[in-house]
Structure 1
C-alpha cells in the first residue's frame, strides 16, 4: 500500500477515538493489527479502511464486552453480530439487576434493624392482584416511581395501587391477619413481577418491612426481597376525591368489548353511549360502529380513548361484566367489575378529533 494512504498511530488514534496505547494492545491481541510496520523503526501505520473497525471495537469495549466476544462480533455478519450484541446486553442488564437486588438485601440488614411484620395475605389472591394492578405502571425517564406499586396496609385492609398518569389501578384485599398498625411503601414493580410465580404457589404470604425494602415470606419456597422506591408516589386519593359526579353508567359484557377492541383498526376508539346501549366506533367514522351488549343509564355520551389505555383497564377487570362510570368527555372513566368492586381502574380519555 502506498505510504500516502497510511496513517501513523497518533493520527489513527485521533480518527478512531482509541489511545495509542490501546491500539498497541489491540494489535498485540490480534484484534486490530496495523496495516504496516516499518521494519527499521518499528513504527505502526494504519489504513483509512481500518477506522470503522477501530471505532466499532471502541464502542464494544465501552459497553464492557469481553475481548473474545468483541472479536466474534467484529468477524461476524450483521445478523450474527446483532444477536451477540443482544446476548451481551441482556447479560449486563441481568447482572446489574442481580447486583441491585443483592445490595438492597445487604442494606436491609445493616444496623441490625429487625423486620417489622406488615400483614399476611393468601398467596394466589396477592399474585392475581399484583399482576392486575401492575398493568398501570410505566417506565418514564425521571419518574421511576411510575414503575412501582404502592402498598398500603391498615384498618383491616391492604390496598395496591399503580399509575402511569393515563391510568390508575387500585385493588383492596382483605388480609388473613389484620395489620397491627398502618404501613405504606412503593415497591419496585419489576421485582414484584419476578416474585409473582413464587407468591402464587404459596398458600400464605407474610409481608415484612425492613429498611429500604420488604420481604415476602412464602411457605415451601424461597423468600423474596423487593426494594422500596424512595420517590414520592402521586397523590391518587386527591384524584379520586375530585373525580366529580357520575353522569352516565354503562354495564357491558367484558368479552365482546375486549374482542371489539382487539379487532379495532385504529389507535383511538370512541364509545358512543345512549339509552339503547353502547357502540364502539372509530373517531373519524360516522358509521354507528360495533354494537355491544350493554345497559346504560344517564346522559348520552360519546367519549374517546387511546386503545393502549382502555384495553388493559378492561382486560384486568374481574368477572364477565364491566361497569363504566363516565363523567363527561374530558373526565376519567372508572372501570370496575360489575359484581366486585375491589379492583378499580381509572382511564383518561383523549381529546376527540374535531371533525368527528
Structure 2
C-alpha cells in the first residue's frame, strides 16, 4: 500500500484516542497489528479503516474489560458482542456490590462491639413482607434513601416501611422471640433483595444491628449483612398521623380490579365509587368504564391514579379482596387486605380532567 494512504503511529494515536505506547502494546498483544512496519526504521503505519477497531478497543478497556474479553467483543458479530458487554457489566456491578457490602462489614467490625439483638423472626414471614413492602421503593440518585426499607423494632413488633413519595407501604410483624431493643434504621433495599433467599430458607432468623449494617443470622450460623443508609428517611409517621378519616370505603375483589386496570388504555385510570359498585375507566374518559361488583359505604367519589402507583399497591394486597379507603381527590387512598390488615399501602391520586 502506498505510504500516502497510511498514517504514522502519532497521527493514528490522535485519531483513535490511544497513546503511541498503548498502540505498541496492543500490537505486541496481537489485538491491533499495524498495516505496515518499515523494515529499516521500525516505524509503524496504520490504515484509516483501523481507527474504528482502535477506538472500540479504547472504549472497552475504559470500562475495565480484559484484553481477552475485549478481543472477543471486537471479533464478534453485533448480537454476540452486545451479550458479552452485558455479561461484563453485570459481573462488574455484582463485584462492586460485593465490595460495598464487605466494606460495610469491615467498618462495623472496627469498633469491636457485639451486634445489638433486634428480633427473631420465622424466615419465610419476613421474606414475604420484605418483597411486598419493597415494591414501594424507588431508585432516585438524588434521594438514595427512597431505595431503602425503614425497619423499626420494639419488643412487641417489627415494622417495615418504604416509600417512593407516591406510595407508602408498611407492614408489621410479630417477632417469634421478644427483644428488649427499641431501634430504627434504613436498610439498603438492593442488599435485602440479594439476601431474600437466605432469609426465606431460615426457619428462625435472628436480626442484629451493627454500626453500619444489620446482620441476618440463620439457623445454620451463616450471616448476611445489609448496609444501613445514613440519609434521613421521610417522616412517614407524620404522614400517617395526619391522614383525615376516610369518607368512602370500597370492598372489591382484587383480581377483577387488577384486570380492569390492565385493560385501561393510557397511563392513568379513574376509580368511581357509587352505590352500584366500582367503575374503572381511563382518566378523562366520560364513559361508564368497567363495572365491578363492590360494597361501597359513604359518599360517591371519583379518584384518578397513575397506573404505576395504583397497580402495585393493589397487587401486593394479601387475600382475594381489598379495601380502598377513599378521602377524596388529592388525598391519599389507603389500600389493604379485606381480611388481613398487617400490610397497608397509601397511594397518592392525581388530578383528573373529568369525573362526572
CA distance, structure 2, for counterparts of residue 229 and residue 292 of structure 1:
43
2:163–2:169 Cα contact (<8 Å) kept: yes
Aligned to 1:33: 33
1:202–1:221 Cα contact (<8 Å) kept: no
Secondary structure of the residue that 2:110 maps to in structure 1? helix
Consecutive unaligned residues in structure 2, runs of 5 or more: none
* Partner deviation per Cα, 1:41-90 (whole Å, 9 max, x = no partner): 22112222111111110000001101011111111110110111111111
Aligned to 1:220: 220
Greater displacement, 192-201 / 9-18: 192-201
CA distance, structure 2, for counterparts of residue 222 and residue 264 of structure 1:
47
Shift of residue 243 of structure 1? 2.5
Secondary structure of the residue that 1:112 maps to in structure 2? coil
The CA RMSD over aligned residues, in Å, is 1.6
2:166–2:347 Cα contact (<8 Å) kept: yes
- How high is the TM-score relative to the length of structure 1? 0.95
Aligned to 1:158: 158
Aligned to 1:123: 123
Identify if the C-alpha distance between structure 1 residues 355 and 47 changes in structure 2 by more than 3 Å, giving closer, same or farther. farther
Secondary structure of the residue that 2:229 maps to in structure 1? coil
CA distance, structure 2, for counterparts of residue 336 and residue 355 of structure 1:
24
- How high is the TM-score relative to the length of structure 2? 0.95
Are 2:9 and 1:9 equivalent residues in the alignment? Answer: yes
CA distance, structure 1, for counterparts of residue 314 and residue 112 of structure 2:
45
| Consecutive aligned runs of 4 or more in structure 1 exceeding 3 Å deviation | 353-356
Shift of residue 159 of structure 1? 0.5
Aligned to 2:314: 314
CA distance, structure 1, for counterparts of residue 126 and residue 354 of structure 2:
44
CA distance, structure 2, for counterparts of residue 24 and residue 155 of structure 1:
67
When the two structures are aligned, how many residues end up with a matched partner?
356
Aligned to 1:298: 298
Question: 1:166-245 alignment to 2 at 5 Å?
Answer: 166-220=166-220, 222-245=222-245
Aligned to 1:43: 43
CA distance, structure 1, for counterparts of residue 152 and residue 315 of structure 2:
24
Shift of residue 138 of structure 1? 1.2
2:284–2:352 Cα contact (<8 Å) kept: no
